[in-house]
Structure 1
Amino acid sequence: MRPGDHRDRPCLFRNLVPLVLASASPRRRELLSLLGLEFEVFPAEIEETISPGKPPEEIVKELAHRKALTVARRFPEAAIIAADTLVVKGKYLLGKPKDLEEARQMLTSLSRAWHQVLTGVCIIYKKKESIFFTETKVKFRELSPEEIEAYLATGEPLDKAGAYAIQGLASAFVEKVEGSVTGVVGLPLSETVEVLLKLNLITPVKD
């Protein structure tokens, strides 16, 4: 378990209960740290197999729920935040590529095309529970084979859903975004904060 990196940052909100981020993703950790909240990091280890034919929005919600439940059993006095992200291109679901060739195929399919990024979030605190998802539409400009190869060589695509990081080097590929940018990164901050406030788990910092 690791603490969130919130030191020496302005605080917009403060905790009312202990928080645990059930994710190994450094992007989600960075996003939550932006708020100034104190939290621990405890990645959830779950089986990510899903019944065939399930809608993508149900997949991300179910996986986020599984992650939150797993970690909640370890930390019964804390509020658990878990998330799962999936990229959808037409009828294809793009998770994290298993190798460079699969990443190459994903990036080629996204070139000059719209796709959707769905992020499911589950927040659990004792008997309180909220599960939701955001959908963001993203369009890439046309990518040359040379650009794709250069991006693959950086190593950035390999642990990202859809084989790209919108907040990283792939920001140079993005032509348009409709929806939550932080949802594409891995944790929709506006919607997550709204739920944390509604469940009385955090509060704005006051002088």
Structure 2
Amino acid sequence: MASSVAARPGDPGPGGAVVPVRFILASASPARLSVLRAAGVEPSVRVSSVDEDAVAAALPPGTGPTEVVAALARAKAVDVAGGLSTHPHGPGMPEDAVVVGCDSMLHIDGRLQGKPHTVEAARARWTTMAGRSGDLLTGHAVLRIADGRVVAEAEGVCSTTVRFGTPSPPELEAYLASREPLEVAGAFTLDGLGGWFVDGLEGDPSSVIGIGLPLVRALLREVGLDVAQVWSGNVG
């Protein structure tokens, strides 16, 4: 895990009461939103305008896959944090909040794979990964906002090994026709139709869905927050 922190501790209030902190999810992913809601968080959703291909292309030659995923997650968090003061649906930069950026990519055959976007690309990926294993890299960047400014940040990446099954030709064509795998990292899901074709995992299931709860909890601690502070008092 790589992190950069200049923490401002989020101490409990008088008598040990939990001081709630607004959780801002810098992602449009319904799967990430579902994981957070099931885990007791009702985040505000703000979608970044980051050009992922441009960010990746601007990285130094030889940048490793973990660093690529971390850089993309941070770029999204920074973009959303920078737009909070002018967001049309909000009063401005919140006084106390965290912005969480996310990125996921499948690392297989020495290459990173994001969203395939087309049926042809998704079919080609499944042809190569069926019956094999790959590492789903999930990166998160947490920006702590206090008194209307970013006062701390932390970032990290977790890796979960995914063992893929081998769908029959009719199963694969039906899955591709559903269009579900076209806009998800690695051309598969765990919490949808793709779950039928995942034989097993070694690591954190929540990170494969899109947001790694153990990693986010650790990053919250690095910026001086307790996970209980994002369980209550959140603004939708």
Do Structure 1 and Structure 2 share a fold, with TM-score over 0.5? Answer: yes
Tell me how far apart the structure 2 counterparts of residues 54 and 15 of structure 1 sit (CA, whole Å): 39
User: Could you say what secondary structure the match of 2:228 adopts?
Assistant: strand
Cα distance between partner residues in 2 of 1:156 and 1:18: 31
User: In the alignment, which residue of structure 1 is the partner of 2:200?
Assistant: 176
Cα 1:15/1:106, change in 2 over 3 Å: farther
Q: Say which is worse superposed, 136-145 or 24-33, in terms of deviation.
A: 136-145
Cα-to-partner distance string for 1:16-75 (whole Å, 9 max, x where unaligned): 222210001111111111122232100111121213532111011000000111111123
Equivalent pair of 2:104/2:138 in contact (CA under 8 Å) = yes
Over 3 Å counting, the alpha-carbon distance change for 1:107 and 1:79 in structure 2 is same
2:77 counterpart of 1:68: yes
Identity %: 34
- Between the two proteins, the alignment pairs up a number of residues equal to 193
Residue 22 of structure 1: which of 10, 19, 26 is its match? Answer: 26
Deviations 1:124-151 (A, max 9, x none): 0121111001100011122222221111
2:166 to 120, 133, 142: 142
- AA partner of residue 163 (structure 2): K
TM-score normalized by structure 2?
A: 0.76
How far the C-alpha of 1:194 sits from its partner, in A, is 3.1
Equivalences for residues 16-165 of structure 1 within 5 A: 16-48=20-52, 49=54, 50=56, 51=59, 52-75=61-84, 76-77=93-94, 78-125=97-144, 126-165=150-189
Tell me, what secondary structure is at the counterpart of 1:118?
strand
RMSD between aligned residues: 1.9
- Decide which structure has the larger Cα Rg and report it: 2
**Secondary structure at the counterpart of residue 19 of structure 1:** strand
SS at match of 2:28: coil
2:228 pairs with 1:200: no
Q: Contact 2:190–2:198 at 8 Å: present in 1 too? A: yes
Equivalence for 1:3: none
Instruction: Work out the CA distance in 2 between the residues paired with 1:58 and 1:29.
Output: 24
Greater Cα offset, 39-48 or 113-122: 39-48
SS at match of 2:51: coil
Equivalent residues of 2:156, 2:219 under 8 A apart: no
User: Matched residues in 2 for 1:58 and 1:15: separation?
Assistant: 33
**Partners of 1:165 and 1:184 in 2: CA distance:** 8
Partner Cα separation in structure 2 for residue 127 and residue 28 of structure 1: 25
- Call closer, same or farther: CA 1:135–1:87 in 2, change over 3 Å: same
Q: RCO higher in 1 or 2 (8 Å CA, sep ≥ 6)?
A: 2
Where in structure 1 do 4 or more consecutive aligned residues deviate above 4 Å?
A: none
Shift of 1:197: 4.3
